[in-house]
Amino acid sequence: MWLSAGRSVSPFKGRALGKAISDHRAPAPAGFPSGSRRKSRSVKETADIMYIPQHVGIIMDGNGRWANRLGLSRTEGHRAGTENIRPVIEAFVHHKVQCLTLYAFSTENWARPWPEVRGLFHILGKVIDRESHALHEKGIRIRLLGKLEGITPALQRNILKALEMTKDNDIMVLSIALNYGGRAEILDAIQRIMAQNLPPERVDENLFNSYLYTAGLPDPDLIIRTGGELRLSNFLLWQAAYSEYYSTSTLWPDFNGLEVEKALMAYSRRQRSFGGLESKPEGSAPPPRH
């Protein structure tokens, strides 16, 4: 999830952060809008991506460690992480990924110091307000996975505005897992099913899926975790039963277009059997030729 290990909150130093980001990152990819990170590689290398996942989930970890390495505050790390969201989205759009889910704030993150949580909510609100128009113009639909209860009123307003603005878009579904926990989602689904007084024989996987926050979305084919950890951290527990898992030591603020290609290439080379015989990645297709 977005909040990660590091130092305590300090006031944001815009110049220091801007210099750290510019010193620490490579140029934007050719053909990508401004803000993307690296030049694209050769056609031969990109052609190695034979199958594209329909749905990718990302556990965005490492903001605090990124800031700590550069002598910056945790707030500055979170700000760098939010600045990285748009170029990563653009990279997945470029590869024709249809659904992208970003783990922004977990139900467990409420245990963090309130100044840090409040600072992250403030940053998120500004980014959503700023970027929702650009995402709307690109045909990206924004969805919320999680609950608005407890979220600051300003952030709630920005989220609801973005959801309404982009609700009819169909190029990509961008789901933001905010105030989200996989166990809480499952319990919430069970409680709502029980409230309907449905007979037990009616409850199957299809019905259960319809009560989850992800109702209508395909299960994730690929789960990416930045920052080097090897756990799901309560992310899409039901939906990720057969997801391929990819962990990279790259910290989230440094996860760029090249890292996206590495993850997609690793996924493309795997065989998914779903308990049966080996097969090609289900729900995947060769990338379009450019």
Catalytic residue (one of 63, 68, 84, 109) = 109
Residues 23, 66 contacting (CB under 8 angstroms): no
Whole-angstrom distance, CA of residue 77 vs CA of residue 75: 5
| 209 labelled catalytic | no
In order of 141, 196, 276, the CA distances from 189 in angstroms are 23, 11, 29
Beta-strand relationship, 244-247 and 222-225: parallel
Q: Which of 61, 219, 221, 254 is catalytic?
A: 61
> Is 23 among the catalytic positions?
no
Which residues belong to the active site?
61, 109
